[in-house]
Homo-oligomer: A and B are copies of this chain.
Amino acid sequence: MATAAQFHKIVAFYDAHRRMPSYQEIMSLVRFRSKDSVFKLVNRLIDQGRIKKDKTGRLLPTRYFFAIPWLGSVVAGYPNPAEEELLDPISLEEFLVKNKESTYMLNVTGDSMIDAGIMPGDIVLVERREEAKHGEIVVAEVDGEWTLKRLCKRGRKVTLEAANKNYPPIEPKNELRIAAVVCSLIRKY
């Protein structure tokens, strides 16, 4: 269908201007000479679910505007580059950030969690909250500093364990204050 190329131009406009184009702007994007042609094109795109309209008629982007195509698995299969959009398209924000209000980024230094695949220089996305379950990786306050460890609850005993055999578990003397819970990890190469 030819609407795919036209849709691409709209997405490109959105990426460049960080807003949806007006009907006039789409008109020159896809080289129409009538706004009504655009109107009908937009309705087709809405039927396909690629664009949305709010109740005042303004155009809104959908997930397709933010999506990074998902190719599949890297060991198991041999993805066909022709059919890129197999899995649900999803934006990184949507994928990683559940509660925008309480999510923060944190640089990781030190190698105490290296056996859990968290290396120095990595970035963790954390959600600020004070409760965590057994096994979750948390940011805890110990001796006035923040430290990244795995929370272990055994009966009434709570310890902080590193994922590195060179670091002994921490058994908090007084109270244990949890500052945040790690919800995802990011690494740039």
- Chain A residues close to B by CB (< 8 Å): 15, 17-20, 54, 58, 60-61, 66, 68-79, 84, 91-93, 95-97, 100, 103-110, 112, 114, 117-119, 122, 124-126, 136-137, 139, 144-148, 182-189
Give the copy number. 2
**A114 and chain B: residue at smallest CB distance:** B117
Q: Interface on chain A toward B: helix, strand, loop, or mixed SS?
A: mixed
The minimal Cβ–Cβ distance linking A66 to chain B, given in whole angstroms, is 7
Complex Cα spacing A15 to B103, Å: 15
Cβ-defined contact, A60 with B17, below 8 A: yes
Cβ-defined contact, A93 with B96, below 8 A: no
Complex Cα spacing A175 to B97, Å: 41
